[in-house]
Amino acid sequence: FARPLFADLAGDIDVSFEFFPPKTEKMNQALWQSIETLAPLAPKFVSVTYGAGGSTRDRTHATVARIARETPLTAAAHLTCVDASRGEIDDVAREYWDAGVRHIVALRGDPPRQGERFAAHPDGYDCAASLVEGLKKVADFEISVAAYPEVHPESGDARACLDNLKRKIDAGASQAISQFFFAPETFLRFRDAAAAHGIDTPIVPGILPVSNFAQTKTFAAMNGADLPGWLERLFEGLDDLQDARKLVAATVAAELCRRLYAGGVRQFHFYTLNRAELSYAICHMLGLRAGASPVPARLESAAA
């Protein structure tokens, strides 16, 4: 009972960090600074999200290729089925393989306009499972897929959602990364239900350190994640107090990770939103220490 709260966290964990492709030069600098800050924590991989529209996609490709080329980190590219034929997607995947990228986060993607139903391209992949199958034919990629502890909004129920996750694993994915959530038991129950459903690959919790509550509310509305009242109350009155918001965010996320760790979780995926500080602090509280992988000079120059 008297044990200090974080005493058991020995740093025996793997972490990965997710970024989004920057739109402006200023955002580009912030991204590379974040990568530089987080790299010494020796993440298992870092991934870059994929949006709708040509220029966004080019930015994902450029960012992933640059990470693969200029840093010692393992880069993973998110790829979706939205608005592209199978041939076009396969070509993108081939370019990644040629650029040395071996890990794809394979997703169906959301409809380009919020509120619409997903409609597959007439010659496209219709869901993530068929994308995984197609990618495996292009090359022997390591593939991660999405998992939903609180059920994907288009799945009829939890069972249908697990059936779909199993299809993705059977098609060749080697792990799943979860949508964010705020109750540890939600994830732990989901993990156990997945195992009982015959899913024996790792399911990595996706951790969203919340420092902007309004933005998180928008994300949660899109993907059906439960946003607890206590979380909203924690951020009440902090709109103009950025530092206080960060402290609250780190405390909430570290406590979530601590409880997941107690439940046996040893791998964590952080939605960094291209900001290093919070994810770094949480990893530190989990016992991870910088130094395992020193930042080489070429990464420092990439951030310049």
Q: Which residues are catalytic?
A: 18
Kindly state the smallest distance separating residue 30's Cβ from ligand FAD, in Å. Answer: 19
Q: Closest CB to ligand FAD among 37 and 63? A: 63
Binding site for ligand FAD (CB under 6 A): 49-50, 78, 80, 105, 107-110, 127-129, 146, 152, 154-155, 160-161, 164, 168, 177, 179, 206, 223
Kindly state the smallest distance separating residue 50's Cβ from ligand FAD, in Å. Answer: 4
Kindly state the smallest distance separating residue 105's Cβ from ligand FAD, in Å. Answer: 6
Q: Closest CB to ligand FAD among 148 and 261? A: 148
Kindly state the smallest distance separating residue 239's Cβ from ligand FAD, in Å. Answer: 28
Q: Closest CB to ligand FAD among 35 and 79? A: 79
3-state secondary structure the chain: CCCCCCCCCCCCCEEEEEECCCCCHHHHHHHHHHHHHHHHHCCCEEEECCCCCHHHHHHHHHHHHHHHHHCCCCEEEEEECCCCCHHHHHHHHHHHHHCCCCEEEEECCCCCCCCCCCCCCCCCCCCHHHHHHHHHHHCCCEEEEEECCCCCCCCCCHHHHHHHHHHHHHCCCCEEEEEECCCHHHHHHHHHHHHHCCCCCCEEEEECCCCCHHHHHHHHHHHCCCCCHHHHHHHCCCCCCHHHHHHHHHHHHHHHHHHHHHCCCCEEEEECCCCHHHHHHHHHHCCCCCCCCCCCHHHHHHHC
Q: Closest CB to ligand FAD among 66 and 168? A: 168
